[in-house]
Amino acid sequence: MSGPLSASVATLCDQMAGRTGPEAGGQLRQISDRLGEPLRVAIAGRLKAGKSTLVNALIGRRVAPTAVGECTRVVTRFRYGAADRVDVVVRDGRRHSLPLDDDGMIPQRLGVPAGRVAYVDVTLTSEKLRDLTVVDTPGLASTDGTVSARAEEAAGVSGAPFDADIDADSVSEVAAAEAVVYVFTQAVRADDRRALDAFRDASARLASSPINALGVFGKVDTLVGGAGDPWPVAGPLAEQQAGLLARTVSDVVPVVGLLAETAEAGRLTDADRAALRELAGMPVGELRLMLASVDLFRSRPGPVGAEQRERLLRRLDLYGIGFALAQLAADPRLSTGELVRRLGEASGFPRLRHTLDQAFRWRADAIKAGWALGRLERMAGHARDERDREALRDAVERLLRNPAYHRLRLLDAAQRVATGAVPLPDGWEAELTRLATSEDPRWILRLPQAGAEELAAAAMAAANRWRVYAVAGAGPAQSRVAQVAHRGFHLLAQQVRR
């Protein structure tokens, strides 16, 4: 699972573990083990924002309960395993195993008081978890919610709007993620932004920024009444939210979460399709009236029974039902598989999956290596044994002298700029972000058709531009960022000439 950068850090940790004391050695082995795991993404957001529904879509199975219960008040980690297994990990480290319930979901009752649970560890055979570990978090409470004393102490913030029952172990588990997806509904409010900022502050080890955080505008089908098309409204609203959260997330992707879960988890059956086809054969006026509201869909006369209608609502809701009926009216022979594919497209989830791949997975090596180096630098500053501190400092410095690790300095600089900590002139921030987050010189330099010589010349011109800015007109913080960018473009020029 490791890329070249994180593999080198892991090798360093393994070498240093045998040369340091027991305490430092144990921490080094933990870092090395973590570097071999898939990228860990935390799903955060308000209560009832649709986080668990999104988790199920990402996993490809409906296993995370979406109704409020014991298991929705604790952190749940989903990772790949050879067999399906649920372990409730309590605060003293012990594990209590539970079977999935009859529907293949995590049981609503955990058998342990929620206050004693550190997190729930779920291993599944889903192939979608081979290179991505998903962490489902408890909902951020409303602004009048309180954070528990343990969580407040661990988070280092006062009054962060976490659910009152989240303990320090749960906060630590969330903060251990390398990337975050924030889920919200309707328009972003001021208290939403405060909640997201509080989550970011609590995730101190993550150093969340637009570099490794993504927004999801969920439940967009609720923006319009009945079975109406929400996308003409959802698109502009998502762009507006992206502007409001520009210092928190890299992008905001609108999604119909329920449709995504149904399509990705394969929850629509041939019997469901047959029922939809019967409904599609109704007179247009009667069908339009039936789709005007949930109550009318349940109560109006029609060829499909009440139980089957309720099942369709639970899987598709009115927008999904209306969309499916339109597809079947146009082609009554449409197969179940093709209908599911189209429903998935209509959910907006493929764009989210693509954005995750672009924003997180391909960048996983650098994100994880940066996380590990941050841990090593903190160890070097706080190790009890002076010899361990010196050995760790020397090892980190040797590693960072490798030109390949300049990307980590670029990511750090881009994070500071993206969060507004270091302001840059218009256009310069975007150029630095492209340099830090991509390996494609044509995309970085905005020269999609250029050859090697033109790219090298453009990279050197950019390097010189940043060097001039570093020594003329920049403040101390901007100068440090500009020097990092200057070397990055110089290395890019060398890369394209090879």
**Interstrand relation of 213-217 and 179-184 (parallel, antiparallel or unpaired):** parallel
Strands (E), 99-170: 117-124, 132-136
Task: Name residues whose C-beta falls within 8 Å of residue 57's C-beta, 6 or more positions apart in sequence.
Answer: 257, 260, 261, 263, 264, 265, 347, 349
73-111: pLDDT as tens digits: 788 999 999 999 999 999 888 999 999 988 899 988 888
> Same structural domain for residues 187 and 305?
no
b/e code 52-80 from CB counts within 10 Å (16+ = b): bbbbbbbbbbbbbbbeeebbbbbbbbbbb
- Please report which confidence band the pLDDT of residue 143 belongs to, taking 50, 70 and 90 as the band edges: very low
User: What does the alpha-carbon distance between residue 198 and residue 204 come to, in Å, rounded to a whole number?
Assistant: 10
Same domain for 386 and 295? no
Those residues whose C-beta lies under 8 Å from the C-beta of residue 83, and which sit 6 or more positions away, are 123, 125
Average the pLDDT over each of 122-126, 361-365, 412-416, 427-431 and give the range with the smallest value: 361-365
pLDDT band of residue 151 (cuts 50, 70, 90) is: very low
pLDDT of residue 403: 79
Tell me how far apart the alpha carbons of residues 200 and 178 are, in angstroms, rounded to a whole number: 12
Q: How many CB atoms lie within 10 A of CB 308?
A: 17
Element housing 86 (H / E):
strand 85-90
Number of domains in the chain: 4
Tokens of 489: 């473009």
Q: Identify whether residues 221 and 190 lie together within a single domain.
A: yes
Within a 10 A sphere around the Cβ of 422, how many other Cβ atoms? 22
Check residues 419 and 241 and name the one with the higher pLDDT: 241
In the predicted model, what is the mean pLDDT of the chain? 84
Euclidean distance between the first and final Cα of the chain, in Å? 28
**Could you tell me if 418 and 431 lie in one domain?**
yes
Contacts 24+ apart (CB under 8 A), 397-401: 399/8, 399/9, 399/12, 399/373, 400/373
Angle between helix 476-497 and helix 452-471 axes, rounded to 10 deg: 160
Say whether both 431 and 486 belong to one domain: yes
26: left (phi over 0), alpha (psi -120 to 50) or beta: alpha
Is it the case that residue 158 has pLDDT exceeding 80? no
pTM of the complete model beyond 0.85:
no
Give the integer Cα–Cα distance in Å for 491 and 426. 24
* pLDDT one-digit tens code per residue, 428-462: 988 998 898 788 899 999 999 999 999 999 999 99
The listed range with the strongest mean pLDDT (180-194, 254-268, 377-391) is 254-268
State the pLDDT at residue 199: 54
CATH of residue 121's domain is 3.40.50.300
Tell whether 331 and 476 lie within a shared domain: no
* Residues 62, 23 within the same domain: no
Instruction: Please determine, for residue 426, whether its predicted confidence score (pLDDT) is greater than 90.
Output: no
Clarify whether residues 108 and 52 are in a common domain: yes
Residues 480-492: what's their mean pLDDT?
94
> What are the residues whose beta carbons fall under 8 Å from the beta carbon of 221, sequence distance 6 or more?
230, 256, 258, 259, 317, 318, 319, 320
Share of the chain above pLDDT 90, in %: 45
Does one domain contain both 152 and 204?
yes
Examine the domain organization and report whether 53 and 19 are in the same domain: no
**pLDDT greater than 90 at residue 335:** yes
- Percent composition of the chain: helix, strand, coil (DSSP 3-state, to 5): 55, 10, 35
146 pLDDT band (50/70/90 cuts)?
A: very low
Domain extent, residue 293, equals 260-347
Q: Is 394 left (phi over 0), alpha (psi -120 to 50) or beta?
A: alpha
Using DSSP bridges, classify how beta strands 213-217 and 252-254 pair: parallel, antiparallel or unpaired.
parallel
| 305 touches 373 (CB < 8 A) | no
Residue 417's pLDDT band (boundaries 50, 70, 90)?
confident
355 with 224, same domain? yes
CA dihedral for 22, 25, 31, 35, sign (positive or negative): negative
pLDDT tops 90 at residue 194:
no
Q: How confident is the model at residue 163 (pLDDT cuts 50, 70, 90)?
A: very low
Element (H, E) at 175: helix 168-175
pLDDT for res 20: 87
pLDDT 10s digits, 16-56: 998 888 888 999 999 999 888 888 888 888 777 889 999 99
The pLDDT of residue 68: 63
Same domain, 54 and 114: yes
Predicted confidence at residue 157, as pLDDT, reads 35
